């Protein structure tokens, strides 16, 4: 069962993670502006200010509905949105979830927060029935690929995909979540 809007799903140190929705669009736009480097790496430039809203709230893979999508916001204790996570239940197959995006405000990067975030995220995903987690990292995001490898993700395959105005090779990676 999902927590009501505004209730923390889990916490990471002084941060709380909760579901986000269209109501959070102004906060997501501001986060997207602060994270334009990350979005440009993925989509090319210029980046549409609404892209992060779509990524975290509405965009879905084929055959999935909004009931399968969990846009999560990482909030400081003062209420400022400093990160976003997009996960989709049972994609591409039952029991496997897809992590479409993990983005952190530049002031919160390179401090171990991403690694600290993964422990409660994995615990939460297990509680939702996830047995594995899949993601795709652009060939242009070498630091991201190193990060995901450190988090226990292993390469599955490579695919060519086009996002925005950029076509890239993506490294599909997977991690088993079962204990």
Neighbour count for residue 118 (Cβ, 10 Å): 20
- Distance from the first to the final alpha carbon of the chain: 21
What pLDDT score does 2 carry?
40
pLDDT at 143 over 60: yes
pLDDT at 148 over 60: yes
Q: What is the pLDDT of residues 78-110, one digit of tens each?
A: 888 999 999 999 999 999 999 998 988 888 888
- Higher-pLDDT residue of 49, 177: 177
What CA–CA distance (Å, rounded) separates 178 from 43?
33
SS3 (DSSP) at 140: coil
pLDDT category at 172 given cuts 50, 70, 90 is very high
CATH number of 10-135: 3.40.630.30
Q: Can you count the helices (H) and strands (E) in the chain?
A: 5, 8
What CA–CA distance (Å, rounded) separates 105 from 31?
7
- The structural domains of the chain, with segments of one domain joined by +, span 10-135
Q: pTM score, two decimals? A: 0.86
């Amino acid at each position: 069962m999902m927590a009501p809007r505004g209730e923390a799903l889990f916490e990471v140190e002084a941060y709380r993670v909760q579901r986000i929705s269209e109501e959070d669009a102004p906060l997501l736009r501001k986060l997207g502006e602060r994270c334009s480097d990350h979005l440009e790496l993925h989509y090319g430039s210029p980046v549409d200010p609404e892209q992060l809203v779509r990524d975290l709230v509405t965009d879905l893979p084929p055959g999935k509905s909004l009931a399968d999508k969990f846009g999560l916001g990482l909030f400081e204790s003062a209420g400022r949105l400093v990160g976003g996570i997009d996960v989709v239940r049972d994609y591409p197959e039952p029991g496997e979830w897809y992590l479409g995006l993990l983005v952190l405000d530049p002031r919160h990067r390179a401090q171990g927060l991403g690694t600290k975030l993964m422990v409660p995220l994995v615990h939460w995903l297990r509680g939702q029935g996830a047995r594995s987690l899949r993601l795709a990292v652009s060939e242009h995001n070498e630091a991201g690929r190193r990060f995901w490898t450190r988090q226990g993700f292993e390469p599955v395959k490579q695919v060519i995909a086009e996002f925005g105005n950029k076509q890239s090779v993506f490294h599909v990676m997977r991690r088993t979540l079962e204990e």
